[in-house]
Amino acid sequence: TSGSIADYKKHGYELVTDGYPADLTFDNDDTTDQNFTVHLKHRLTPVNPTDPKTPGTPINPDEPDGPKWPTRTNYDKTVNETISYVDQNGQVVAKQHTDSVNFTRTVVVDNVTGEVITSGAGTTAWTATNGDTTFDAVVSPVVPGSVADKAQTAAVTDMNADSADVNDTVTYTESRIIG
């Protein structure tokens, strides 16, 4: 059985029990069955940003056409904020503001099927790096001779790994002093 078990291991299984006795000798009596049980299960591998695998590469190196490691977005996501400052013609008048919030989790990958398991034993929920789930309000920069259509952009709170990127634009118009 050792050769058969080794083949199963190459395909992502792990041996639980091998009921094949080391000293088993088969006889020539066809009327008596000589049974033994080998128990295998799917090997499960935790994957997260601190122990990533190379996405798209074979989970089982001896099986190049078999299941592949999942993309990083299954366990590591970033939500981005970009605020652009432009004039009425769309020309940049101040440096863009950027921020990001990163979320990570541990998933379990079934080495036989490649299935990404996101709940249950060995998995964790999405958590924000440093506990930060907010984009703070941003005060619009002063541009000499211009007035912003927003004094500041609003804060974005309670974000999660499924939150969309935030893109905002502050438009400046030329100020005219009458006097």
pLDDT in tens, 83-142: 999 999 999 999 999 999 999 999 999 999 999 999 999 999 999 999 999 999 999 999
Tell me which amino acid residue 101 is: V
Evaluate whether the domain defined by 43-174 bears CATH number 2.60.40.4300. yes
Indicate the helix (H) or strand (E) that contains 9: helix 2-10
Kindly tell me the sign of the dihedral angle through the C-alpha atoms of 26, 30, 31, 35: positive
pLDDT tens track for 1-46: 567 888 988 999 998 987 666 666 667 777 877 777 889 999 999 9
pLDDT of the residue at 23: 67
**Alpha-helical segments (H) within 14-169:** none
Measured distance CA(71)–CA(62) in Å, rounded = 20
Of 3.40.190.10, 3.20.19.10, 3.40.50.1000, 3.10.20.470, the CATH number of 1-42 is 3.10.20.470
